[in-house]
Amino acid sequence: MYQGSCLCGAVRYQVQGELAPIQVCHCSQCRKAQGTAFATNIPVQEAAFTLLSGAEQLKAYESSPGKQRVFRVHCGSPIYSRTSKLPGVLRIRAGSLEGDLATRPASHAFTASRANWWELHDDLPQYPGFKP
């Protein structure tokens, strides 16, 4: 089991089971939503995700049709996103998890739109759009 929280600690959650590999997304929406060169996401089954506190303090923003980004209103921490294209799956923001993780990044997606000021220096597979 893993636990995570927002920056101020009002929203707390847990994830049951092992974590899938981390997906590194370089699309312009993820960059703007995170305020960084990329987002690090871990897909989890919605049934494995439990909000422990702060559910009423979360807001969802539909950044594109069918895609919601869920964040803590007060401190601004992104917690997860969901898309209607993958029902029952949440993409947890890896940085909101606490403690050491057994999982590691598996690939880079949307490298065609990555920030020109961030170089990739690893051997992970790179995909110009969605991972096939």
Q: Give residue 94's identity as a one-letter amino acid code.
A: A
Selected from 2.170.150.70, 3.40.640.10, 3.30.1330.10, 1.20.1560.10, the CATH number assigned to the domain covering 2-21+41-109 reads 2.170.150.70
What pLDDT, on a 0 to 100 scale, did the predictor assign at position 42?
Answer: 98
91 closest CA partner among 7, 34, 8, 10: 34
Question: DSSP secondary-structure letter at 34?
Answer: H
Exposure string of 64-75, with b = 16+ CB inside 10 Å and e = fewer, is eeebbbbbbeee
Q: Is the pLDDT of residue 93 over 80?
A: yes
Which residue carries 């598996």 as its tokens? 106
- Reported confidence tier of residue 132, pLDDT bands at 50, 70, 90: confident
Span 24-30, mean pLDDT?
95
